[in-house]
A = this chain, B = another copy of it.
Amino acid sequence: MSLFEQLCTQARQSALLESIESLLGWDERTYMPTAAGEYRAEQMTFVSGEVHRRRTDPRLGEWLHELSSSPLAADPHSDEGATIRQLRRDYEKRCKLPQLLVEELTRASVLGQQAWVKARAADDYASFAPHITKLYDLKRQQAECLGYPEHPYDALLDDYEPDARTSEVAAVLSALRDELTPLVQAIIESGRRAPVEILSRHCPQSAQETFGKRAASAIGFDFERGRLDITHHPFCAGMGPHDCRITTRYDETFFPSALFGTLHEAGHGIYDQGLRTDWFGLPPGTYLSLGIHESQSRMWENLVGRSRAFWEHFFPQFAADFPEAALGASFDDFYWAINHVEPSLIRVEADEATYNLHIIVRFELEQALLTGDLKSADLPTAWNEKYRQYLGIAPPSDADGCLQDIHWSAALIGYFPTYSLGNLYAAQFFEAAERELGGLADQFSHGEFAPLKSWLQRNIHEVGQCYTAAQLVERVTGQPLSHAPLVRHLRGKLAPLYGLK
């Protein structure tokens, strides 16, 4: 076996262990009996430790050192070059982390998630606060071990959006905010309000499930290689080259929650299923960044799933499946309702225009919690204050406030800004796809989603980690990342609905 093959075999073995960890996590959130939580934490801690041991094996370091100066590494964008570069990047980062810290983080996140489920159900932030303290303390240790150019948050952000800087993300988000604030203000001042009561009409869960699965299939999620289950907080997890599982949650008096949640997770799943399986577990067959991942989910959820053309195809079926919800509702009413803009409390149910304000709240709070400027006990107050400041509203309970997201409980700190990056990438990619393919809306209105899916697979999924996110955006769209395409998309959709100039 050549040294490169040896490297790949070792990395594939680590990926296999990670795929098992993913199944343990999926099962924990879907079907695991309630009393099994403590031992599940032990199982996940053990596997996570084994992965860390393999990914920091000194022999791996020697192989990578040797291969880095070999001809295989010459082209950093070739499959082999990217494999060597990315595995070395990962190796060097991990070597800075003590195994004990890694295991403590895994355990704290499993216990944190279990505590979060209970705290949210009981609207009891106090029972969850010690977990926040513990988790941020461990993440602060992680940032110090890793080092960072400017801000400890940089070190955490890098886990989710490699090579991104806190200051740069803050700049992009404020540029976006400067455009969105007047747009949202103008919508409020228009005095127009979509007939949103349509959305809270009764839709039986089983019919929602059928409709959601049909829509997910239509856009390209392959149920032979995946599943859809139910969890409190929807997610997508891969546990093998042909095993990608998504989840959603059903609300019988607010169908958009499950439907757009399903399209969103299916978008993630389509990315996962579009990766090259022959490179499974290696950088060329691995997603590039969470921002890029999110661009795929946001594209199918919003740019496709909330488009007029999508519903020209699906509305007749919707009306047939949910006669109570569709009763007397015109196509225009329905289309407006699912695109209504109004400041609200729950991030995952926020409209496209206000969504990024939810992200900015979290982005700022997690930086403050990390530096210690904000104490965990003061989180609910700080949260409510920021919601008043940016969205003009405050949650009546912590369950609908700072307990609404699973992320922090799962030690996912530095993750939130990737949602906004995803929105920006999505709009920019979508403009490029339209330029190249043409007539996307016409295709959607006939239920044809394969051309867009194939374009995404070819241009984004199959690239894996052979380019950085910034390079990929330039290659695919011919431009560096910009907030302009997203703003154009929103203005284009919302101006006619709200009679704006």
Contacts and interface: CB of A to CB of B under 8 A. Distances in A.
Interface in A227-246: 227, 229, 239-245
Contacts of A36: 225, 239-240, 242-243
Given A13-B46, A23-B23, A24-B23, A33 B241 contact: no
A39 B227 contact: no
A348 interface: no
Contacts of A243: 32-33, 35-36, 39-40
B224 A39 contact: no
Contacts of A27: 23, 27
Count identical subunits in the complex: 2
Given A39-B243, A242-B39, A243-B39, A224 B33 contact: yes
Contacts of A31: 31, 227, 229
B43 A20 contact: yes
Interface string A283-314: 00000000000000000000000000000000
Contacts of A434: none
Nearest to A281: B39
Contacts of A33: 223-227, 242-245
Given A20-B47, A23-B24, A47-B20, A224 B42 contact: no
A34 interface: yes
B43 A240 contact: yes
A36 B40 CA distance: 23
A387 to B, nearest CB: 37
Contact of A43 (B16, B39, B46): B16
Contact of A46 (B16, B39, B245): B16
A245 B244 CA distance: 23
A48 to B, nearest CB: 12
A241 B20 contact: no
Nearest to A37: B242
Nearest to A240: B39
Interface of A: 13, 16-17, 19-20, 23-24, 27, 31-36, 38-40, 42-43, 46-47, 222-227, 229, 239-245
